[in-house]
Structure 1
Amino acid sequence: MTELNANVTAVSGAASRLTAVLQDAYPQLLALTEDASLMRPAKMTWCRKEILGHLIDSAANNHHRFVRTQAVARLQFPAYQQDHWVAAQGYRDRPWQELVDLWRLYNQHLVHVMKRVPSESLGNQCIVSADEPSTLGDHMVDYVRHLKHHLAQIFTRD
């Protein structure tokens, strides 16, 4: 995690960074052609569509974490089997623009959720794996870092 014990200011900053990323990345993603979306960036297992699909899956999984962890002091979530999720949903077979729009809209909703989390919930434990328990606030901050990491992979020039 990039920031420990994230407070309201850190989460608000993460929400602002996510908003800025969405504004910057959306037109760049739309500019990629369908053919380009099927290309694998150098040394990557997934093509660009599948990387974006992974980010959609990340939004879906984190949506549950962001909402449910507000209600209890400590909550364990099932492990995320990313390769299974990406393969099972067949992102390669979906139109690029639909994936880009879904990614943007889902993340806009997550910005809304992040902005309204009660400060007293930010310290609640969101446990995704035994090795990596984190507070809800830390998890929100790290979500934006993770998203930016994978967008950089999508935008890598071959």
Structure 2
Amino acid sequence: MMFAEVINELKPAIYDWAQKLISLDDELISTRRNSQNRSIRQIVGHMVDSASNNTHRAVHLQYRKSPLEFPNYATYGNNDRWIAIQNYQDEDWQELVQLWKFTHLHFLHVISVIDPQKLKKQWIADKNVSVTLEEMVLDFPRHFQLHLSEINQLINITL
């Protein structure tokens, strides 16, 4: 299976973290902030946005002309706009965690069925920066783990 390593790394983590996240109390998920001034709620929401945007890129890159012009939600502060506009801070926590879980599981499904002939197709990530479909998928676990590390740090802060 294509990207089996990525899937085998992330799938157990998604299930483990979904249980861990759901058990966190409201004060913890709402008040503690990371260096970007994001709460755990907002980090989880950002991860939903990331998985969703990457799913859309993976689909578009398989049938549209390369290099693909696709909005990069993560630059120029746009990811913070996404977090604010969607108001993850006030979303029902149980629903948000389920959305996080299933958005990531769906992304894993999508990458498991990518046409190998499309792996070198590119999207324009920024001025003078193009990323292939393969690079995007292979980089996803790093981004995923980065945000889980941020959440873990916030969980383990001793007040």
- Class of the TM-score when normalised by the shorter of the 2 chains: 0.7 to 0.9
Distance in 2 between residues matched to 1:137 and 1:59, nearest whole Å = 15
Show the counterpart of 1:93.
Answer: 90
Distance in 1 between residues matched to 2:125 and 2:34, nearest whole Å = 29
Secondary structure of the structure 2 residue equivalent to 1:133: strand
- 1:127 aligns with one of 124, 130, 149: 124
Secondary structure of the structure 2 residue equivalent to 1:70: coil
Show the counterpart of 2:136.
Answer: 139
Q: Deviations over 1:19-49 (max 9, x none)?
A: 1221221111112112211022453411110
Q: Which has the higher contact order (CA 8 A, sep 6+)?
A: 1
Show the counterpart of 2:40.
Answer: 48
Q: Where does structure 2 lack aligned partners over 5 or more consecutive residues?
A: none
Distance in 2 between residues matched to 1:90 and 1:100, nearest whole Å = 14
Measured after TM superposition, the shift of residue 131 of structure 1 is 4.2
Q: Where does structure 1 lack aligned partners over 5 or more consecutive residues?
A: 1-7
> Residues 69 and 131 from structure 1, CA distance in 2 versus in 1: closer, same or farther, beyond 3 angstroms?
same
- 2:68 aligns with one of 72, 75, 78: 75
Secondary structure of the structure 2 residue equivalent to 1:126: strand
CA RMSD of aligned residues (A): 1.6
Secondary structure of the structure 2 residue equivalent to 1:117: coil
Show the counterpart of 1:105.
Answer: 102
Distance in 2 between residues matched to 1:20 and 1:130, nearest whole Å = 36
What is the TM-score when the length of structure 1 is the normalising length? 0.87
Q: Is the contact between residue 52 and residue 103 of structure 1 (CA under 8 Å) also seen in structure 2?
A: yes
Distance in 1 between residues matched to 2:12 and 2:118, nearest whole Å = 25
Show the counterpart of 2:21.
Answer: 29
What is the TM-score when the length of structure 2 is the normalising length? 0.87
> Residues 42 and 84 from structure 1, CA distance in 2 versus in 1: closer, same or farther, beyond 3 angstroms?
closer
Secondary structure of the structure 1 residue equivalent to 2:137: helix
Q: Which runs of 4+ in 1 moved over 2 A?
A: 39-44
Show the counterpart of 1:5.
Answer: none
Q: Is the contact between residue 67 and residue 130 of structure 2 (CA under 8 Å) also seen in structure 1?
A: no
Show the counterpart of 1:19.
Answer: 11
> Residues 28 and 131 from structure 1, CA distance in 2 versus in 1: closer, same or farther, beyond 3 angstroms?
farther
Secondary structure of the structure 2 residue equivalent to 1:99: helix
Q: Deviations over 1:94-122 (max 9, x none)?
A: 12111110000111111110000011111
Could you tell me the percent identity over the aligned residues? 32
